[in-house]
Amino acid sequence: MKAAADVCRAVASYGLPGGALPLPRRPLDPPVWDAVLERAARQRVTGHLAFALEEGAFAATQPQRSAAAEHHERALALDLLLERLLLASVERLEHASIPVKILKGTALAHTRYANPSLRSSGDVDLLVPGSHFDAAVETLCARGARRRYREPRRGFDQRFGKGACVETRDGLQIDVHRTFVAGPFGLAVDPDDLFATHASFRVADRELACLDLEAQLIHACFHATLGDAEPRLVPLRDVAQIALHADVDMDRIVDLCSRWQCGIVVQHATRLAWEAFALTTSNEFVRWGARYAPSPFERRALDAYVGPDRSYARQALAGLSAVVGVRAKAAYARALLVPDAPYLRERDRGYLRRLTRGVRLLVNERTGQ
């Protein structure tokens, strides 16, 4: 329902300077309201909805306000359960001498939003160095949690992968990251850079490490652009929220984009966020993104994520160009083309089928199909 989608975009942009999307001035008809509420919950923007209603910016009936408050309360309850899981996970990793940083939801809620209840999460996101990756997954799985997807070959994830998803016994999810994203852009990020600077925030009685402001903003751009086929509202809001409310060091942004070959990701994410929320405000960050000239690598890489035939396989293939060194490229290609038998059973049912698929992708890539 387009009307509900439009209202949700306006809700997600509530409070942003220069936001031009109108919120309803009269209570919505029940079918539209129900669709708005369902979508707001699914997109995890009930915080903005609840505040817009409370502050009178969004006209609604009393039952509608109560329903929105109830949904938001449920989202906050989940946030707290995830936060408890996060604290327990960090404690276990630290006990095992594994360095860890908090990514996305909880970190952004506590560092980039005026009220953490405006930024809800669906899981816990942790970043660990590649050299500790396997140990981190093993540590988190020690008490009955399980890893959801296998790696193609032993050691692949700690060297080339984005990360792993660990599910606890009560169904909560921990995403353990080595880098921001699978494929070429994730491989182009130097994981050492992510632990080179220090920033932190406080949750309860714990000080937790997170990315610095500029790395947070670039990561938000990755999440907004490269995560889902249809960009989600929360990461788009994160991009606009950080870009418009924080004092970003542009020299560092430019430096990181150059090192990680990801200026096009920042450019694309900024354009998506500004279009989605009809933002009229500009600043140095936005202007830099608009005039950025991407390299051929960046254009090809972006197409693997947002092009019409985007797929994990295309991203994996495009990743080959970001792997440095002939031996590393060979190890990467071997792991993807000839993975371990259990991985293969889950995915392709046979080596020949996988090899055929890989060759077909490679030919299409070369011929530009």
Partner 1 sequence: MGSINTGDHRRWRRDERTLWRAGPGAVVVLLGPRDTGPRSLRGTGAALWSALDGPPRSVQEVAGRLATEFRADPDAVRRDVDPIIAELARVGVLVEDS
Q: Which residues bind partner 1 (CB under 8 A)?
A: 47, 50-51, 53-55, 65, 69, 72-73, 76-77, 79-81, 83-84, 115-117, 203-205
- Minimum Å gap between C-beta 54 and partner 1 is 4
Q: Which is nearer to partner 1, 91 or 138 (CB)?
A: 91
- Quote the CA–CA distance of 323 and 337 in Å, as a whole number: 15
Task: Please spell the DSSP secondary structure of 194-224, one letter per residue.
Answer: HTTS-EEEEETTEEEEE--HHHHHHHHHHHH
Closest separation between CB of residue 174 and partner 1, Å? 17
Instruction: Give the alpha-carbon dihedral of 36, 42, 44, 47, to 10 degrees.
Output: 30
What does the alpha-carbon distance between residue 273 and residue 307 come to, in Å, rounded to a whole number? 18
Closer to partner 1 by Cβ: residue 97 or 115? 115
Q: Is 107 helix (H, G, I), strand (E, B) or coil?
A: helix
Between 69 and 306, name the residue whose CB sits nearer to partner 1: 69
Nearer of residues 144 and 308 to partner 1, judged by Cβ: 144
CB of 205 to partner 1, least distance (A): 4
How far apart are alpha carbons 280 and 274 in whole angstroms?
8
Q: Which is nearer to partner 1, 74 or 198 (CB)?
A: 74
- Evaluate the CA torsion angle 256, 258, 261, 266 in order and state its sign: positive
CB of residue 81 to partner 1, shortest distance in Å: 7
Centre a 10 Å sphere on the Cβ of residue 328 and count the other Cβ atoms it contains: 14
Measured CA angle at 272 (ends 179, 246), to 5 deg? 70
Smallest gap from Cβ 65 to partner 1, in A, equals 8
Select from 113, 14, 22 the least CA-distant residue to 68: 14
Contact 104, 120 (CB under 8 A): no
Smallest distance, partner 1 to C-beta of residue 69, A: 6
Q: Which is nearer to partner 1, 79 or 175 (CB)?
A: 79
